[in-house]
Structure 1
Amino acid sequence: MTDAPLAPHPDPAAGSAAPSALADRDGVLAELSAHVSRAWASFEHPRPVEPAPDADLVRRLGRGLPDVGDDLSVALEDAAHVLDSSVSTARPLFLAYVPSSALETGVLASALSSAYDANLATSAGTADLLDRQAVHWLAEFLGYPAAEGHFTSGGQTSNFTGLLAAREHARPGSREHGVTPGSAAVYASEEAHHSVVRAVEAAGLGRRAVRWVPTDDQRRMRPADLEALVRADLEAGVVPVAVVATAGTTLTGTVDPLGEIAAVCERHGVWLHVDGAYGIPAAATASHGHLFAGLARADSVTVDAHKWLGMPKSCSALLVRHHGVLRATFGHEEHYMLHEGDTGNPVDSTFEYSRPLRALRFWLSMRVHGAARFRAWLEGTLEVTRTFVDAVRAHPEFELRHDPMLTTVCFRHLPPTGEGERPLSGGALDRHHVALAQALQHDGRVFLAPAELDGVTVLRACFTNFRTDAASAAGVLDVISEVAASLR
């Protein structure tokens, strides 16, 4: 590490100074490259322990606003230490929530895109062509006939965009006049992600517009119950705005019966939005593609490429089946971004204004690795999941709580009992799982989080990281048993 600053410090007495280039660009890039390379190397295998930040770093993070800049090498070193001692979803045994691989190609694309800072709110030149190609590549990979779409900041924004398009389709002019309270309805299963509720609220429909459709013994939306709810609303003069089917629920990885749901929507002219933020990449696999039959009949689809497709956050996408629906939803005239004839600006088809070239992460990764490699990676995580499920079933200390469709596994740890001891049950067993998850996170070898399933607290593992191999996953139960024993 050099003692000389890599960037000149402005003289406070010199007044306002224009931003200046780094004094040693090649040098700082070499330092940054070394930090990134060390991070990538640390992701190749599970860590035996999560490092804690040193006391000096913690003190520096408590300082106030600096008036004079610091040495760039020192600041970069601190930034790297902060991240290395933080929770990273890219690690192979981060199994909580829905983790990502943070593919190296995606990281490189993020850096390159940030350097150029293209803004897709207006025409960005050749970047527009790459953006459109990435959208069509993604749709082709999933087997969805997208007419248009765009990359967004996350599944919440993608679901909200799809719902706004559905609202304008069901109630033309609603973006101008609003919607009378109680006059519209949105249908989702009891397992749908909460982003659907937030989207309904933000769209001005009100939370009471949500109709919760019961699920079957596989936790899938019941099409017959959906049909009954839609008919009841129509008879009451309520307009069905959209049905939100889920292709991979967050809690259990359940895929709703898309074809049967599409049939209900088609009979009644209702917009079908598929929230596939987590699970829809499995539509591209030979082993699980059949679960997504009917996907091509959806009007809009959400997919988070920063989940099972391995991109760094945030990199979601909203795909739609018909041309023009997005501009009908978002198109507007403004004095600071003029239109040429009937040609709108890109922002006329998006909810977001300033939009970076998120598509570059997916485009570069697909360009370098190819669709076949991605399909193989997806199949690999499905196979790791099957191996893990078999291990849970066979282990006397563990209980499988559902039969997984995709890569999410909910299970319980049943502490062994000594002679004369009663097994934990009820609230005591729930509290055990909360304490166990906290202890596992503190231990650092495996990162799991608790969840609630069927009224009981469980451990939930989600295998969406391409770095997680069968050998790593095989040791997870042993770590859990070891940590659980330390709690007794």
Structure 2
Amino acid sequence: MDVNPKDRPYPADTLGMDSSEMRRLGYAVVDAVVQRLENKHCEPAIAAKDPGPLLELLGGALPEDAQPAEASLELLIDSALFYQQHGDHPRYFARVPGPSSFAAIIGEWLGVGFNSIAASWPGGAGPSAVELVVIDWLRQLMDLPEDTEGVLVSGGSQASLTAIAAVRALKGQGCVYLSDQTHASLVRALSTLGFTQQQIRILESDPQHRMSAQSVQEAITVDQGRGLKPMMVIATAGSTNTGAIDPINELADICLEHKIWLHIDGAYGAPAALTDSGKRCLDGIQRADSLVLDPHKWLFQPYDVGCLLIRPGVLENCFNMNPEYLKDVQGNESATDFRNRGFELTRRSRALKLWFSLRSYGVAKFRKAIDYSIELTEFAEAYLRESPQRWEIISPAQIGIICFALRGASPEEHERRAQALSESGFACVTTTKLKGRTALRLCIINPLTTQADITETIDRLGCE
């Protein structure tokens, strides 16, 4: 390979920072990150600040000249990076936490440091190869067919948007069936892609907050009688509200009978399939035509990385793009150009962190961590049931999520208690609404969380 001679070196930094200064700042960043990880339990689970003071602190006039790097680094760490939700805090139970692992952080740093791109094979053969490997590893974890293809994107929202667009390009317009517990991003994706209200069939969930297979069958029959075309069923494998898992095998049978596409949103819950108990709950997930999961949730990756796994050839059928200015970066027939598997042309390498962490820890450690979270949520339910005069279980422990209520409390009282606990910094919890009833909700997926963290959080929610 003909490269520049070593006797004509270029500066290390594009804009001229000295390499010794680069190392000094780099080591300072590593120290700051590790120190923060060591002490994250001492910081609030969530910290907020009004926009005015924060913008004043971080903003001001456009800096024409260089500012001291140490001061800027300190400002970022103490202000910008402090005032946020800390999803890796052991008592952050709101929404779906993101407790990232350090090996994954290292993989992310490498991708950024090497300015990696995974858009075309000629332009990023190495990063693209890593992504293909990671996609196949995730396929294996989910027990999907060997010819399954995929793509890494920012998260579940973009993954499902990508899947719906690709399926519509394959099958044409039609009706899509989902439940009132399907993640709101799916409804947004359908609306964004131009599906009409008549085509978006939101069905009432059953008493266990699952999609009813009978309701789906009835809706399909009605639509066919009206001359409408059923196109897709969207099932949920671990709903955000309750962790509920739709009856996947029943829905798969319906889809098979009517030749309808089965899309499964497992952004949160799908990795539970690594465990014995989760695999039983998620039986049938391998029958999906497309499946979404978010490694930045229960696979302990830093934001952002979502994965779409899908039947072969569907993505390229929709997204293939080869204009004249990309002719020189087209791969051969055996190569994969990831720009042709989704909306993104400029694509950073999201696979490196997942590849490095899976190799560094081994799948067994991931499995053990997920199993522990499931058991800890069951412990939370048992602890709540010890005080039936005080607590009521609204939705039992399901793959890391439990919803409960303080007996006699109004919706406003639940919200007040959740907000007060979050503002205290000790823990962060949220409320949700199920069948019109407000409930407190814990999502417990951090393997650093202890039983004591659970009991004290519940006790603080229940104290007068």
- TM-score, L = length of structure 1: 0.86
Preserved CA contact (<8 Å) 1:127 1:357: yes
Whole-angstrom CA distance in 2 between matches of 1:169 and 1:114: 35
Task: Render the CA deviation track for 1:160-180: whole Å, top value 9, x for unaligned.
Answer: 111112212212xxxxxxx5x
- Residue 21 of structure 1 pairs with residue 21 of structure 2: no
Q: Give me the identity figure in percent.
A: 29
Corresponding residue for residue 104 of structure 2: 106
State the shift of 1:48 in Å: 7.1
Q: Flag the 1:84–1:267 CA change in 2: closer, same or farther, 3 A.
A: same
Preserved CA contact (<8 Å) 2:151 2:309: yes
State the shift of 1:53 in Å: 7.8
- Residue 33 of structure 1 pairs with residue 30 of structure 2: yes
Counterpart code for 2:71? V
- Residue 130 of structure 1 pairs with residue 130 of structure 2: yes
Corresponding residue for residue 332 of structure 1: 321
Corresponding residue for residue 144 of structure 1: 144
Counterpart selection for 1:95 from 83, 93, 96:
93
SS of equivalent residue, structure 1 residue 205: coil
Corresponding residue for residue 77 of structure 1: 74
Whole-angstrom CA distance in 1 between matches of 2:239 and 2:74: 39
Preserved CA contact (<8 Å) 1:446 1:479: no
How many residue pairs are counted as aligned between the two chains?
442
Corresponding residue for residue 255 of structure 1: 245
State the shift of 1:57 in Å: 7.6
Whole-angstrom CA distance in 1 between matches of 2:58 and 2:216: 52
Counterpart code for 1:110? E
Q: Flag the 1:53–1:233 CA change in 2: closer, same or farther, 3 A.
A: closer
User: How do 1:225-236 and structure 2 match up within 5 A?
Assistant: 225-236=215-226
Corresponding residue for residue 273 of structure 1: 263
Whole-angstrom CA distance in 2 between matches of 1:159 and 1:286: 27
Q: Flag the 1:137–1:94 CA change in 2: closer, same or farther, 3 A.
A: same
User: How do 1:37-436 and structure 2 match up within 5 A?
Assistant: 37-43=34-40, 45=41, 47=43, 59-82=56-79, 83-123=81-121, 124-145=124-145, 147-171=148-172, 184-320=174-310, 322-338=311-327, 339=330, 345-395=337-387, 396-414=389-407, 424-425=408-409, 429-436=410-417
SS of equivalent residue, structure 1 residue 307: helix
Whole-angstrom CA distance in 2 between matches of 1:52 and 1:231: 50
Q: What stretches of structure 2 of length at least 5 have no aligned partner? A: 1-12
Q: Flag the 1:79–1:214 CA change in 2: closer, same or farther, 3 A.
A: same
Whole-angstrom CA distance in 2 between matches of 1:84 and 1:459: 26
Preserved CA contact (<8 Å) 2:118 2:125: no
Counterpart code for 1:36? V
Q: Flag the 1:25–1:211 CA change in 2: closer, same or farther, 3 A.
A: same
State the shift of 1:318 in Å: 0.2
- Residue 466 of structure 1 pairs with residue 447 of structure 2: yes
Task: Render the CA deviation track for 1:206-237: whole Å, top value 9, x for unaligned.
Answer: 24311123322222211122112112222322
Task: Render the CA deviation track for 1:151-197: whole Å, top value 9, x for unaligned.
Answer: 101111001111112212212xxxxxxx5xxxx21001121001111
Preserved CA contact (<8 Å) 2:421 2:427: yes
Corresponding residue for residue 7 of structure 2: none
Counterpart code for 2:256? E
Counterpart code for 1:218? Q
Corresponding residue for residue 476 of structure 1: 457
SS of equivalent residue, structure 2 residue 276: coil
Counterpart code for 2:265? D
State the shift of 1:128 in Å: 1.4
State the shift of 1:412 in Å: 1.6
Q: Flag the 1:116–1:291 CA change in 2: closer, same or farther, 3 A.
A: same
State the shift of 1:18 in Å: 6.5
Preserved CA contact (<8 Å) 1:187 1:242: yes
State the shift of 1:145 in Å: 2.4
Preserved CA contact (<8 Å) 1:221 1:256: yes
Task: Render the CA deviation track for 1:376-422: whole Å, top value 9, x for unaligned.
Answer: 100000011011111111134322111232211111234xxxxxxxx
Counterpart code for 2:137? W
State the shift of 1:52 in Å: 8.0
Whole-angstrom CA distance in 2 between matches of 1:341 and 1:59: 52
SS of equivalent residue, structure 2 residue 202: strand
Between 63-72 and 280-289, the greater mean CA deviation after superposition: 63-72
